[in-house]
Amino acid sequence: MIPGDLTESIVRAIEQQQAIPPMPAGLSMDQAYEIQQQVTSQLCKQTGIAGIKAGLTSGPVQQYFGIDDAVIGSLYGTGRLSPGCQIESTSGLMLECEIGVIIGSDKKPVSLVPVIEVVFLKYSEPSDLNAVNIVAANVGADRFICGEPLPWDSNCGSTDLLLTKDGETVCQASTGDSLEGPAKGLAWMMQESRSRQFDVKEGMLFILGTCGPPVQADKGEYLANYGELGNITFTVS
């Protein structure tokens, strides 16, 4: 049985961008997903869920956390931002270069889109930072900036990307870094979503995990260049 006050305290922490309160020991991954569903159902009452995100997607990260697969969480409808937006800097806020896929009515991909995910994941007890608790806190979901969508191409390969802050490179990566690229990544996420009983709907955005390392959201002017997929500009103030 998951205590209701645990869910409420996680919801408050996420809403207020505060550290997640101390977590109970011994939670299973199934229990963590149960908590996550309770958390997201409260946070998405008004605007619904905008999509699904992958997390802990790289081999070294999984090895560090002692897991053998990636995890998923939900994107809040309130979290959608447009290019050119301004984000307020705060301790614990990170930026991740990602590639996203928008699905159609038949749950097949219709668009490919560059995405910057704004992640906030901070625990009041440093020892609570583990894979199970990351899942319970909805994998650090906060906000996301989408570039212009392009028509889906089943043969799409990897595209190099470059994130700069005030003209200085802060991340250089490839869209194939996470989950082996868009096609394989989406297939895995759809399967995992079914397994975890996520409600997948037309128009949802699936983001496939970090391409390259996360970047601390320091103040500055940012440009994410995704090559043929386009650019995303934003400011952290």
List pLDDT tens digits, range 95-111: 999 999 999 999 999 99
Give the max Cα distance, the chain: 51
**What are the tens digits of pLDDT across the range 37-64?**
999 999 998 889 999 999 999 889 999 9
Neighbours of 162 (CB within 10 A): 17
Q: What are phi and psi of 199, to 5 degrees?
A: -85, 100
pTM value surpassing 0.85: yes
Q: What are phi and psi of 55, to 5 degrees?
A: -140, 165
At 135, the pLDDT band (50, 70, 90 cuts) reads: very high
At 2, the pLDDT band (50, 70, 90 cuts) reads: low
